[in-house]
Amino acid sequence: MRKVLALAALAAGLAAAPAQAQSTGGLYVGALGGYQGIDVESADGTATATADSAVYGINAGYDLSLGNAFVGVEGELSTSDGDTQFPSTFTGARDSLEANGQYYVGARAGVALTPGITAYGKLGYTALDTRAFTSAGTLAELEDNAGGLRFGGGVQVALPGPLEGRLEYRRSRYKDAGDGSFGDATTDQVVAGIGVRF
């Protein structure tokens, strides 16, 4: 909760920055960080586990300006350290799942709210590197790459010069995580970022 409040305070600070006329088009690269919550189901759907962690990474993309709106493509590489553990009553072969690297590529589109603030939505493909294991270490670990869909939205704010800030929420849904040892995994993320537009 403290992480979410801190990100909300950052968003308020960004929104309070002087609005500047800045093109929403062109190439950009940036860095981001924030909060991640992950929910994992057992393969038979009888148990669930959750974990909270930090998430951070880098992104890059290209936006095509359409006047007061834009469309674009974006890629992201991030990592987290969420480690879910099912209750002791869970009878599955592996009782824990660790979420590691995440990869995303997708499209986004937005519209200017003011000359310096733009709202946008996004949708695309995402993959999650996972490691399934037992707490007792009685079975070999299983590493897997689970694919899924990510959607979300946010606001980006023009900062001095070529800089821009953003605050974003996104949800990702992954199928058959942990090499099939688990069912679906869902991540909810709230991240803040800063980027440079060329």
Please state the pTM of the whole predicted model. 0.80
Helices (H), the chain: 2-16
Domains and CATH numbers, the chain: 2-88+96-197 (2.40.160.20)
Residue 35 pLDDT level (bands cut at 50, 70, 90): very high
Asked if 126 contacts 150 with a C-beta cutoff of 8 angstroms, the reply is yes
Asked if 95 contacts 85 with a C-beta cutoff of 8 angstroms, the reply is yes
Contacts of 181 (CB under 8 A, 6+ apart): 43, 92, 93, 94, 97, 132, 142
What was the pLDDT predicted at 180?
61
How do strand 69-80 and strand 48-65 relate by DSSP bridges?
Answer: antiparallel
Across the chain, mean pLDDT equals 82
Please give the DSSP secondary-structure letter assigned to residue 10.
H
Model confidence pLDDT, tens digit, residues 114-151: 989 999 999 999 998 877 767 666 666 666 778 899 99
Please give the DSSP secondary-structure letter assigned to residue 11.
H
What was the pLDDT predicted at 6?
43
Please compute the mean of the pLDDT values over residues 32-59 and round it to a whole number. 87
